Amino acid sequence: MTEPLKIGIAGLGNVGASVFKLLEQNGQLLLDRTGRDIRVTAVSARSKGKNRDIDVSKVKWHDNPVEVANDPNVDVVVELIGGADGAAHDVVNTALALNKPVVTANKALLGKRGGEIISLLKKSTGSVSFEAAVAGGIPIIKALREGLAANNINAVFGILNGTCNFILSEMTRTGRAFPDVLKEAQDKGYAEADPSFDIDGVDAAHKLSILSGLAFGCVPDVDHIDIKGIRKITALDIGFAADLGYKIKLLGIARRTDKGIEQSVEPCLVPKDSPIAATEGPLNAVYVDGDFVGKVLLMGAGAGGNATASAVVSDIADVARGRALPLMGMEGGKVGVLKAANILDRIGSYYFRLMVLDQPGVIADISAILRDHKVSLESVLQRGRDPDQAVPVILTTHETTEDSIQKVAEKIGQLKAVVEPPYLMRIEEFKS
């Protein structure tokens, strides 16, 4: 009879407790599907006495999470601590040094230390599985490493952060201001007390770096991602976007170009009738564009204990079946260094929000700057007229380079009648 597969969980937060519960509740189903009895034998967390709605009295408790990896009664190490450094890093390194498989949901570790992990795997018979690191319960990692393995990937893009998507969805639905909706997101548990990691785009950037690595066969490289968050988006922007036929979404985008891989995380205007615009609340959505398959869309719960636990246990099930895939979808020696395109060479259309004193000649001055930089206008919208106060003026452009649009924004911002720096967003015409 096949020996049970013994699991050690380092980190018993929301996800860790859900993994424990899922393995206990659906143990027979997993036995039927994998042929292995999967049992938790060891755990570690900061506080042993915390109420987690699980019974850990029958498993070994380790105060030091690294001891979960060292435990001889643990076959598979599940790292759910998080962060690129400290205990999470030590747990993974120790497990691989002992040739143990690792299952993790740690996007920061992979996004910032992917090259180090690839090097460790060259010397280890262990493996690293990370379905839960990107888009929670959506099986995007398996899709890229397995289902779409025969395709050259042209682009991968989507909504990778549920907190930002909830905030933007509620701003669109209710017309409320960003700070008000952020507080609601915190009250509902969608945003942390310090929401910077989410709303400044860092979380999405870590996830995008992993998707880029898988899509383009390279080491994840978060340092070459152009990152902009959603703090500066106003109800005005939401309303004007709607008037123009768009919704605003925080997107992670990675594209293959002749000059290298473009990577960015930023709020974008997307067509109202596109599937990505229809992704509301805390949901995530990821598009993959392959040369043979075309565009594939995966949508679902991108966070939350149960959805993320489902992804973690799917990796455990693979280990139980004896399946281990290379970290970035190809053997370590074939994984290259990301050739990053210069973001200033990127071509696209743009949305400008200007706050302008309603004075004669202002629009003519703005038009002259656009003309001098060979940027063509698509539309101009203005609401209200008040010679004593600034009024919003919205410009949208035809396609131009990022370099040109940044120079235009700098010049327009220097006009005396423009009372605050112009706010820019890309327009992405994603169609299914």
Residues serving a catalytic function are 207
CA 203 centroid distance within chain: 6
Taking the CA of residue 115 as centre, how many other CA atoms within 13 Å lie in the half-sphere pointing to its CB? 9
Long-range (24+ apart) CB contacts under 8 A made by 356-361 are 356/390, 356/391, 356/392, 356/393, 356/417, 356/418, 356/419, 357/387, 357/389, 357/390, 357/391, 357/416, 357/417, 357/418, 357/419, 358/385, 358/386, 358/387, 358/389, 358/390, 358/391, 359/387, 359/417
Closest CA to 16 of 98, 79, 96, 99: 79
Residue 352 contacts residue 409 (beta carbons within 8 Å)? yes
Which residue shows structure tokens 């993994």?
Answer: 19
- Strand 76-79, strand 5-10: pairing: parallel
Q: Report the relative pairing of strands 102-104 and 128-129 from DSSP bridges.
A: parallel
Measured CA distances, 363 to 212, 353, 385, 396 (Å): 41, 13, 13, 14
CA 136/CA 312 separation, integer angstroms = 9
Strands 400-401 and 423-427: unpaired
Of 298, 264, 266, 270, give the one whose Cα is nearest residue 172: 270
The Cα–Cα gap between 231 and 355 comes to: 17
Task: Determine phi and psi for 66, rounding to 5 degrees.
Answer: -65, -25
Asked if 220 and 212 count as a contact pair (C-beta separation under 8 A), the reply is: yes
CA–chain centroid gap for 286, Å, is 9
Cα 152 to its chain centre, rounded Å, is 21
Distance CA 189, CA 340 (A): 36
